[in-house]
Amino acid sequence: MPDLRELYQEVILEHSKAPRNYRELATANHRAEGYNPLCGDHFTVYLDLEGDSIRDISFQGSGCAISKASASMMTQSLKGKTRAEADRVFDQFHKLVTGQSPANGNRAELGKLAVFSGVSEFPVRVKCATLAWHTLHAALQGKQQTVSTE
């Protein structure tokens, strides 16, 4: 039986209540919107890219505790990273929340994001955890369309 405490870890709850980098970014040169039509979660991710590296990153929007905490911790973990590094973190994060990342596997680049491992026990919440990441991906690619989880 999945454990609620694994899903709603203290760190996740704390970030959902007081999300970091939760603002419009005045210096943003990339931005994208993400939307989950099933639940109405909606985020905008702002990026200030300098060459290949993420000089600054922020987000705004509304969503559940999982999606908001994921967005908040994503902005923290990716500030200062290059595109290639961000892609790798997303890849590892995606594997983590979909249960494709062995517990003893290489989670080094995930750092604090490892707290989202409990999501894999709640398949319907995977979209919540990855919404901001898909939005980030779109922002990095310079896509104009709203990203949808569907």
Q: With CB under 8 A, what is the number of residues at the site for other proteins?
A: 21
Other CB atoms within 10 A of residue 60 CB:
18
Q: Determine the Cα–Cα distance for residues 23 and 72; give it in Å rounded to an integer.
A: 11
Site for other proteins (CB under 8 A): which residue of 38, 50, 52, 80? 38
Q: Residue 96: which residues within 8 A CB-CB, separation 6 or more?
A: 107, 110, 113, 114, 116, 117, 119, 120
Provide, rounded to whole angstroms, the least separation between the CB of residue 39 and other proteins. Answer: 5
Of 65-73, 78-86, 130-138, 139-147: span binding other proteins (CB under 8 A) = 65-73
Of 3-11, 79-87, 99-107, 109-117: span binding other proteins (CB under 8 A) = 3-11
Q: Determine the Cα–Cα distance for residues 73 and 103; give it in Å rounded to an integer.
A: 20
Positions touching other proteins (CB under 8 A) are 1-2, 4, 7-8, 13, 38-42, 62-66, 68, 122, 124-125, 128
